[in-house]
């Protein structure tokens, strides 16, 4: 494991707001496509994205930050610490 990986990991996410399905929709290259039921208004979709990733990756919400793309569907999300196991 690379020493920087213990600090956390940045992932690229394509958010799909107002989706019928909440969850993983697929992978496009190095981008994870995630469906969100919330509309892209007043940060609701961003909040749902963080909540979903927290549940799925089993990390605290406070350890997840959107570092790029707050007002875009294409985002870079930083997850602090190591990811042990994803929810099945």
Q: Which structural domain range is residue 71 located in?
A: 15-79
Is position 10 within any domain? no
Q: Is the pLDDT confidence value at 4 over 60?
A: no
Is position 53 within any domain? yes
Is position 3 within any domain? no
Contact 76, 66 (CB under 8 A): yes
Mean residue pLDDT of the chain comes to 90
Contact 63, 77 (CB under 8 A): no
Written as six digits, the tokens of 14 are: 């394509």
Is position 84 within any domain? no
Is position 86 within any domain? no
Q: Name the domain count of the chain.
A: 1
**Confidence class of residue 85 from pLDDT cuts 50, 70 and 90?**
low
| Dihedral of the alpha carbons of 71, 77, 57, 4, in degrees to the nearest 10 | -170
Contact 15, 71 (CB under 8 A): no
Is position 5 within any domain? no
Q: What is the pTM of this model?
A: 0.86
CATH at residue 70: 3.30.1200.10
pLDDT digits (tens, 9 = 90+) for 13-37: 999 999 999 999 999 999 999 999 9
- Could you tell me where the DSSP H helices lie in the chain? 44-57
């Amino acid at each position: 494991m690379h020493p920087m990986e213990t600090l956390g990991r940045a992932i690229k996410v394509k958010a799909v707001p107002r989706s019928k399905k909440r969850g993983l929709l697929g992978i496009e290259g190095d981008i994870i496509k995630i469906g969100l039921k919330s509309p892209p208004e007043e940060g609701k979709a961003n909040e749902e994205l963080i909540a979903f990733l927290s549940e799925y990756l089993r990390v605290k919400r406070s350890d997840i930050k959107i570092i790029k793309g707050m007002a875009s569907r294409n985002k870079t999300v930083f997850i602090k610490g190591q990811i042990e196991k994803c929810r099945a």
